[in-house]
Amino acid sequence: MSRAAVPGLPSRHPIGEQLPALYADDDFAQRFTAGLDTVLAPVFTTLDSLPAYFDPRLAPADFLSWLASWVGGADDPEWPTALRREAVARAVELHRWRGTRRGLVEALRLVLGLSAEVSGDGAAVWSRTAGTEPNPAVAGEVLVRVWPRGTEGAEGTEGAESTEGTHGVDADRVRALVRSLCPVHTVCRVEILSGPPAPEGS
């Protein structure tokens, strides 16, 4: 699909065929309208395929950024096209899980292509009775461990707090994404590992 002039693209609605019979055999009129058909053919093709433009799995690649802006989805023109399509298609679902462990893990997988594990609850407190003082918050933090996908078969390695370029992972992008998705009342710490963490007790 294209919204630009395409040489040789036939028009599904040629103007010459819709002229009065008087012009059916008029060579000049037919050649003149054929030139207009060349200009209008991409317009008709786009309109005929309009539903596909609103489906992120079918839309032209240059249309994905616009679709992403409609749903507040993440988009980067440098990502593989398949990843950009999935990010737009799942944007609403990710909004629903924003601020949760699942949402953070899914966002790290989808946006940065990383596997992740989130532990800790950020020491959130609550009360069933309105107007009462909540229990003192217990000091705590949310620990986000990330590692490159495809290393699930490797032995887990505990990593120190993330540094730029550790294990080929862009630590700044990881931190920025985690900071944007963690609830404001939590302290989130990021560790980048070479592979999935070893099971506890092993």
- Higher-pLDDT residue of 169, 3: 169
Query: Which two structure tokens, joined as six digits, stand for 102?
Result: 């699942």
- Name the average pLDDT for the chain: 80
pLDDT at 55: 92
Residue 81 in this model has a pLDDT that exceeds 70:
yes
Least confident residue range of 62-71, 145-154, 164-173, 192-201: 164-173
Per-residue confidence band for 165, with pLDDT thresholds at 50, 70 and 90: very low
Average pLDDT over residues 184-189: 81
Q: Shortest CA distance to 145 belongs to which of 165, 174, 179?
A: 174
Assigned CATH for 99-202 = 3.30.300
pLDDT at 56: 92
Whole-number CA gyration radius for the chain? 27
Query: Which two structure tokens, joined as six digits, stand for 25?
Result: 């055999």
Q: Shortest CA distance to 165 belongs to which of 195, 196, 192?
A: 192
Average pLDDT over residues 143-167: 59
pLDDT at 158: 46
Q: Shortest CA distance to 142 belongs to which of 98, 192, 189?
A: 189
Query: Which two structure tokens, joined as six digits, stand for 2?
Result: 């294209």
Distance CA 199, CA 1 (A): 49
Distances, alpha carbon 88 to alpha carbons 14, 53, 99, 112, in Å:
36, 13, 19, 14
Residue 154 in this model has a pLDDT that exceeds 50:
no
Which regions of the chain carry the CATH code 3.30.300? 99-202
Distance CA 122, CA 101 (A): 11
Share of the chain above pLDDT 90, in %: 6
Residue 40 in this model has a pLDDT that exceeds 70:
yes
Predicted confidence (pLDDT) per residue in 84-137, tens digit: 898 899 888 888 888 888 989 998 888 888 899 988 766 666 677 888 776 665
